[in-house]
Amino acid sequence: MTNKTPVIEMRNISIAFAGNRALEDVSVHMNQGEVVGLVGENGAGKSTLMKILCGVYSQTKGEIYINGQKKEFKNTRMAHKAGISMIYQELSVFPDLNAIENIFIGHELLGTKNQILRKLDKKTMHQIAEELFREQLDIQVDLSVPVRSLSLAKRQMIEIARCLYSNAAVIIMDEPTEPLEIAEQEQLFRIIRKLKADGHTIIYISHQLGQLKDISDRIYVLRDGRLVDEMQADRIEVNDMIEKMIGQKAGDQYPEKNNTFGEVLLEVDSLTKEKIYIDISFAVRRGEILGIAGLAGSGKSEILRTVFGALQADQGELRIAGSVKTIDSPGAAMKHKIGFLGAERKVEGLFLDQSVEWNVTIGSLGQLNPLKLNKKKANEVTAQYIDVMNIKTPSAKWMIGQLSGGNQQKALVARWLMCGPDIILVEEPTRGIDVRAKTEIYKIFADCCKAGKAVVVVSSESPELIGICNNILVMYDGRIAAKLDGNHTSEAEIAYYTVQDTGGEKYEA
């Protein structure tokens, strides 16, 4: 049931940064007890609009109404007090604190005895936290351990519990499913539906358009800082959303696969790491993209990190172009022309407070000049990669942390290509980036294959693996459960092998 007066109205919102328009005359509204999707390419203005609602930015034009009352949020505290909370893509939990401490941080309850030296009322806080997880979220979370030891899904639930404790009527979720596996995503959707039934309003930002369509009641589409359309989720198809987002007909997202292979570049033979993966063997040829699927904890990412020398196997061997190699560090991997893009680009790859040029060239300084950085050559090479890879940035000197996720990812790929790898290892290559940037990333990998390189991709997105990979390994419980032909498999078949020990049984549709 919804109120006649929207919970939120944002009327004619406009804002510009350094003279550049970020939003222009955007009007949206959200009702009580509904899920509102917000979509658009990176840079379309989604996050900026929500940051205005949360008091991070102040609009240069326009008005905000909460339950019919005009509000002006000068800071996040004012928005929070009005019942608006946001769960960002990069979770803001404190990893060394437990769930209770994270929920109550800054709002701790104190006992009533000894008004001068009151102690924390740990018992009451424990009871409230238990009720939040049991009654409102219907999940179990270990309240005693530091949250760094919990899964990403559980950490996300702690963020939601913190919002509920603060009496948030409106919860904004920015790319909530990006780090989650399929089962964890389903758990999140169940909780979103429960929050909706309890009268909360959810604003859901995502590049996973199929999921967004399924979970949302209405969807707003932004493009270049303007509102393009408002749609009922059950009356719109994903391709229609894409066309509204990019302003043109949606083409084929995946490039044509290369099917001409050369010599075997990488061989993994009987690799074992106790309690992580067991007896892993596979080979990748020049011109081939090999995908690796599996749930969290299946060992899929650890295999890539072993090949890159960041993790050491207990037994087994690696062969590069037929020769046994000892790769005991990332430096050793790079000497053997192996590149690696980790899933968490902002943690493992990017230097956010440095320029695009700095980030692109940092892996190739020795090639530019081993004794003294040749700035002119660095400028020329960076400009070339910005052009070829369509990295959208005001200049090569622009701070990379200010670019969209897709452009950051393309800059990371450029860094590795500049190093001249023969083997490229990639974790979650399109996490958190929009549909156009995904297509561009896929084309870059296809071009790498045409140039005779080999690519190994770990992804939790089955359509992505089917769309770009020649062959797909499916991991279950540290073992390879199946090797599938990327041209003749399905999402259902991949899912079948990821969730159970088949005992040699074959998938049957």
pLDDT of amino acid 371: 38
CA distance 287 to 151: 36
CA distance 442 to 457: 11
Question: Are 31 and 197 in contact, with CB atoms under 8 Å apart?
Answer: no
Question: Are 305 and 280 in contact, with CB atoms under 8 Å apart?
Answer: no
CA distance 430 to 486: 18
| Residue showing tokens 């008005």 | 63
Backbone angles phi, psi at 132, to 5 degrees: -60, -50
Residue 254 φ/ψ region, left for φ over 0, alpha for ψ in the -120 to 50 degree band, beta for the rest: beta
Question: Are 445 and 453 in contact, with CB atoms under 8 Å apart?
Answer: no
Backbone angles phi, psi at 154, to 5 degrees: -70, -35
Question: Are 218 and 231 in contact, with CB atoms under 8 Å apart?
Answer: yes
Helix runs in 166-287, H state only: 182-197, 209-215, 238-246
pLDDT of amino acid 1: 42
CA distance 465 to 469: 5
Smallest CA-to-CA distance from 407 within 450, 368, 454, 444 is with 444
**What is the number of other CB atoms lying within 10 angstroms of the CB of residue 347?**
10
CA distance 365 to 378: 9
**What is the number of other CB atoms lying within 10 angstroms of the CB of residue 278?**
18
The amino acid at 452: G
Return the CATH class of domain 8-246: alpha beta
CA distance 313 to 275: 11
pLDDT of amino acid 63: 96
Question: Are 396 and 383 in contact, with CB atoms under 8 Å apart?
Answer: yes
Running along the chain, 509 residues long, what does each successive block of 10 average in pLDDT? 77 86 94 94 86 93 95 92 86 87 83 60 88 85 89 84 88 81 80 92 90 94 93 90 80 86 96 94 97 90 95 95 94 93 80 87 63 66 85 87 83 88 93 83 93 94 93 95 94 88 70
3-state SS assignment for residue 91: coil
Containing 37, the helix (H) or strand (E) segment is strand 35-39
The b-or-e profile of 231-260 (16+ CB within 10 A means b, else e) is bebeebeeebbbebbbeeebeebebebbee
| Residue showing tokens 């964890």 | 184
3-state SS assignment for residue 184: helix
CA distance 509 to 506: 10
Residue 77 φ/ψ region, left for φ over 0, alpha for ψ in the -120 to 50 degree band, beta for the rest: alpha
Smallest CA-to-CA distance from 424 within 340, 502, 353 is with 340
pLDDT of amino acid 153: 78
Within 13 Å of residue 67, how many CA atoms lie on the same side as its CB?
7
CATH topology of domain 264-498: Rossmann fold (3.40.50)
Strands, DSSP E only, in 394-504?
Answer: 423-427, 454-458, 471-476, 479-485
CA distance 84 to 246: 30
Instruction: Give start-end residues of each CATH 3.40.50.300 domain in the chain.
Output: 8-246, 264-498
How many angstroms separate the first and last alpha carbons of the chain?
40
**What is the number of other CB atoms lying within 10 angstroms of the CB of residue 485?**
10
pLDDT of amino acid 272: 96
Following DSSP, what letter does each residue of 92-131 receive, concatenated? ---TTS-HHHHHHTTS--B-SS-SSSPPB-HHHHHHHHHH
Smallest CA-to-CA distance from 168 within 30, 28, 38 is with 30
Question: Are 320 and 265 in contact, with CB atoms under 8 Å apart?
Answer: yes
Burial class (CB in 10 A: 0-12, 13-18, 19+), 166: middle
Smallest CA-to-CA distance from 171 within 52, 77, 84, 51 is with 84
Tokens at 483, concatenated: 């090797």
**What is the number of other CB atoms lying within 10 angstroms of the CB of residue 499?**
15
CA distance 6 to 29: 6
Question: Are 463 and 489 in contact, with CB atoms under 8 Å apart?
Answer: no
What residues contact 328, with CB distance under 8 A and at least 6 apart? 309, 312
